[in-house]
């Protein structure tokens, strides 16, 4: 009798798992491609940058997505110097609330990730510059707005911390004329800035082809 | 009198035909459109007037959303800002177009397109400048990120052609080896004739 009860519990729970699995599988496996504009703010230089970039996303689970991105950001430093940043990296997105890709739905998420970056700070009107390669970690929040079942607009705010030798630019005035001091720090440190991305993404295909197989 | 009667008769006969024609809406999924036009641009921060040539290609995902890629080439630029001007300001943009649905062939839209420009500036030197010799200094070209937003409409008056008009705002900054940065903020206006085609035929649903 005990065996029969145990078997019944197992059978019922397996049915539940199967249903849950099917529900999960409806969202996972999709490949998305997108482009974005980025605003960089609150950096140590006190200057705001503007950038262009792109990303692709691979959704590994219904509630977990991965975002692989590249950004090119330029920043004017007080009209006397300029900063160029290249970011290439990845983030993991988690959907704690709604996760369905349905027209009109808002899907909030949290994200965290890592990137490699190259920074070059140059003085205007000269060929003087200092540059660095470093690594960074980032974390933040965002939301997708599903314009259609395949297209979304995403707004993300994340804080990025660069780990390595920072290149600093300090603007000063001498005899009423603006000038800049650019130096590469001798010690490794942590330097950060806030990144706000607005992106448009399209769901292109199912990488695992699971839905077609199920049909 | 005869002319008036004949005009009225022509109108009476053609109106039902046009009405039937109107029912067949061209704006739907799989529509692909393209155009090439001359764009008039004004950089209001520096007072520079530009003329670009633009080419674009757009694909409708459905009646409301389409993807569009644009390429712009600066044909000419008049005016300088504090002795600086642009030699090159060519850009490519890729983005999404949000269409407002109508029942006819009128297709108003809002466009959001990030982009990137290749920009090169110069500084004009004058003979009366005691420190400088006459001539022009050309600075190395750089890549400048752009953000653009605009409003416009298409009017699909025919199966293979349409009229369009668009106004857009371009945001960006030219940061180069030049003495100081130049704003790329610009208002661009264009209109003209475009072409449309249906690249994929919609499958008929079984009755």
Please report the DSSP string for A176-198 in residue order.
Answer: TEEEEEEEEEEEEEEEEEEEEEE
Give the mutation candidate from A32, A33, A34, A35 for the B interface (greatest B CB count, under 10 A). Answer: A35
More confident residue, B197 or A202: A202
For residue A99, the domain's CATH number is 2.40.160.20
Number of structural domains in chain A: 1
Residue A145 lies in a domain: yes
Contact B37, B191 (CB under 8 A): yes
Taking CB atoms and an 8 Å limit, are B145 and A36 in contact across chains? no
ipTM above 0.85, yes or no: no
A35 contact residues in B (CB cutoff 8 A): 94-95, 114
Q: Partners of B150 in the beta sheet? A: B111, B168
3-state helix, strand, coil in chain A (%, to 5): 15, 65, 20
State the average pLDDT over residues A142-169: 90
- Contacting residues for A41 by C-beta, under 8 A, at least 6 apart: A48, A49, A193, A194, A195, A196
Here the tokens at position B128 are 């009366």
What is the structure's pLDDT at A18? Answer: 47
What is the structure's pLDDT at B2? Answer: 63
Segment B24-62, tens digit of pLDDT: 778 878 889 999 999 999 999 888 999 999 999 999 988
Residue A34 lies in a domain: yes
Domain ranges of chain B: 2-198
Supply φ then ψ for residue B57, to 5 degrees: -135, 135
Residue A196 lies in a domain: yes
Here the tokens at position B135 are 């001539």
Q: Give the pTM.
A: 0.81
What is the structure's pLDDT at B158? Answer: 83
* Measured distance CA(B112)–CA(B100) in Å, rounded: 14
Residue A12 lies in a domain: no
Residue A4 lies in a domain: no
Q: Partners of A155 in the beta sheet? A: A143, A198
Query: What are B's interface residues with A at a Cβ cutoff of 8 A?
Result: 61-62, 64-65, 67, 94-96, 98, 112, 114-116, 142-147, 171-173, 175-181
Q: Closest to B147 (Cβ–Cβ): which among A37, A76, A150?
A: A37
Segment A16-25, tens digit of pLDDT: 444 554 555 5
Closest CA to A16 of A8, A26, A27: A8
* Measured distance CA(B86)–CA(B122) in Å, rounded: 6
Range of the domain at A47: 29-214
Measured between CA atoms, how close is B190 to chain A, in angstroms? 24
B98 contact residues in A (CB cutoff 8 A): 147
What is the structure's pLDDT at B113? Answer: 94
Q: Closest to A150 (Cβ–Cβ): which among B61, B94, B172?
A: B61
Tell me what percent of the residues of chain B surpass a pLDDT of 70.
Answer: 81
Give the mutation candidate from A32, A45, A151 for the B interface (greatest B CB count, under 10 A). Answer: A151
Residue A1 lies in a domain: no
Segment B145-198, tens digit of pLDDT: 999 999 999 999 888 899 999 999 999 999 998 888 999 999 999 999 989 887
Q: Which fold has domain B2-198?
A: Porin (2.40.160)
């Amino acid at each position: 009798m005990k065996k029969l009860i145990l078997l019944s519990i197992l059978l019922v729970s397996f049915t539940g798992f199967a249903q849950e699995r099917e529900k999960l599988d409806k969202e996972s496996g999709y490949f998305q491609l997108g482009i974005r504009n980025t605003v960089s703010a609150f950096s140590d230089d006190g200057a705001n940058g503007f950038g262009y970039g792109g990303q692709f996303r691979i959704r590994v689970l219904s509630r977990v997505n991965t975002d692989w991105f590249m950004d090119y950001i330029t920043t004017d430093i007080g009209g006397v110097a300029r900063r160029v940043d290249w970011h290439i990296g990845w983030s993991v997105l988690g959907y704690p609330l709604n996760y369905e890709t349905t027209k009109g739905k808002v899907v909030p998420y949290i994200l965290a990730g890592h990137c490699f970056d190259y920074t070059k700070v140059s003085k205007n009107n000269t060929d003087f510059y200092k540059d660095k390669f470093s690594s960074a970690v980032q974390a933040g929040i965002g939301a997708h707005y599903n314009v259609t079942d395949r297209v979304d607009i995403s707004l993300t705010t994340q804080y990025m911390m660069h780990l390595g030798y920072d290149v600093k630019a300090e603007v000063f005035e001498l005899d009423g004329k603006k000038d800049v001091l650019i130096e590469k720090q001798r010690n490794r440190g942590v330097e950060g800035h806030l990144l706000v991305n607005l992106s448009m993404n399209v769901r292109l295909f199912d990488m695992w082809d699971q839905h077609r197989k199920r049909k | 009198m005869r002319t008036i009667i004949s005009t009225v008769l022509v109108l009476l006969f053609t109106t039902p035909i046009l009405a039937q024609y109107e029912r067949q809406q061209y704006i739907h999924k799989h529509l692909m459109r393209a155009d090439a036009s001359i764009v008039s641009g004004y950089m209001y921060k520096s007072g520079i007037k530009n003329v670009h040539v633009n080419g674009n290609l757009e694909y409708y995902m459905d009646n409301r959303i389409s993807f569009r890629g644009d390429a712009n080439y600066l044909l000419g630029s008049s005016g300088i800002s504090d002795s600086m001007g642009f030699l090159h300001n060519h850009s490519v943009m890729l983005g999404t177009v949000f269409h407002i649905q109508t029942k006819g062939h009128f297709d108003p839209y809002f466009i959001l397109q990030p982009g990137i420009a290749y920009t090169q500036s110069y500084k004009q030197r004058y003979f009366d400048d005691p420190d400088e010799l006459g001539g022009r200094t050309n600075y190395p070209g750089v890549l400048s990120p752009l953000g653009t937003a605009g409003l416009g409409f298409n009017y699909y008056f025919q199966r293979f052609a349409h009229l369009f008009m668009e106004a857009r705002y371009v945001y960006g900054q030219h940061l180069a080896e030049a003495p100081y940065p130049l704003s790329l903020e610009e208002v661009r206006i264009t209109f003209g004739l475009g072409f449309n085609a249906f690249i994929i035929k919609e499958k008929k649903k079984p009755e």
